[in-house]
A = this chain, B = another copy of it.
Amino acid sequence: SLPVPRRHTPYFGQPDYRIYELNKRLQQRTEDSDNLWWDAFATEFFEDDASLTLAFCLEDGPKRYTIGRTLIPRYFRSIFEGGVTELYYNMKHPKESFHNTSITLDCDQCTMITHHGKPLFTKVCTEGRLILEFTFDDLMRIKSWHFAVRTHRELIPRSVVVGMHSQQDTSMLDQLSKNITRQGITNSTLNYLRLCVILEPMQELMSRHKAYALSPRDCLKTTLFQKWQRMVAPPGKRGTNFIAL
């Protein structure tokens, strides 16, 4: 048998195929998948200016985290660092709509499925609404990812219940009855999102520091100056001004 000849598949009009491919790519992750791997993953599926939002409700109220493109690789990585061995998204009846330069995929019944190995095999189904905006071109990458968690379900093997039944092991039962995620989200991902809120505004400063080797104080100064410049004369208008001069 010969290798199958590959053709370029046009994605136009089938944004759900992109999520199928994203799932496939996530399957190919191994223990050795490093930052480079996750950067390549994000580059394949996310636009350079993409943003990702996760909304869910904890005991103390609703939470909403939005992170920019540079933090997206580590977001996905944090899921696996939280003990997940498999991750995929299952969409039921997604709806597409076509705009001038983008396609929106709105799925009210999306399930994020994760497999956890410890303390015993658990399948966590995090259900909610996923709204994706894709750029309408050959690559069809995601411009915005918005997942609002509605509910989650942690599933454990029936065989464990059988074991408990025969042993009447209450401490085991105690441990089993505890959720391993919060609304389907691992602690490592939650911590990462909290960190992002602090880190994200500092990113511009850090990249400036890296690029120009300026002191933190000077970085802050030039950043603030440029922010002020942009406020006074936004990029679009500035252009017109220059031409007018």
Q: Establish whether residues B176 and A93, one from each chain, have CB atoms under 8 Å apart when the complex forms.
A: no
Contact of A176 among B16, B88, B154, B158 (CB under 8 A): B158
Q: Which residues of B contact A176 (CB under 8 A)?
A: 158, 161
In the complex, whether A153 has a CB less than 8 A from a CB of chain B is yes
In the complex, whether A211 has a CB less than 8 A from a CB of chain B is no
Contact of A98 among B3, B161, B177 (CB under 8 A): B3
Q: Which residues of B contact A90 (CB under 8 A)?
A: 88
In the complex, whether A199 has a CB less than 8 A from a CB of chain B is no
In the complex, whether A103 has a CB less than 8 A from a CB of chain B is yes
Q: Establish whether residues B5 and A98, one from each chain, have CB atoms under 8 Å apart when the complex forms.
A: yes
Q: Establish whether residues B17 and A13, one from each chain, have CB atoms under 8 Å apart when the complex forms.
A: no
Q: What are 24 A-B interface contacts by the 8 Å CB criterion?
A: A1-B97, A1-B98, A2-B98, A4-B12, A4-B98, A5-B12, A5-B13, A5-B98, A7-B12, A9-B9, A9-B14, A17-B17, A17-B20, A20-B20, A123-B125, A153-B159, A154-B157, A154-B158, A155-B155, A158-B179, A161-B173, A161-B177, A162-B177, A165-B174
Count of chain A residues with Cβ under 8 Å from any Cβ of B?
48
* Cα distance A17–B161 in the bound complex, in angstroms: 37
Closest CB in chain B relative to A33 CB, distance in Å: 15
In the complex, whether A62 has a CB less than 8 A from a CB of chain B is no
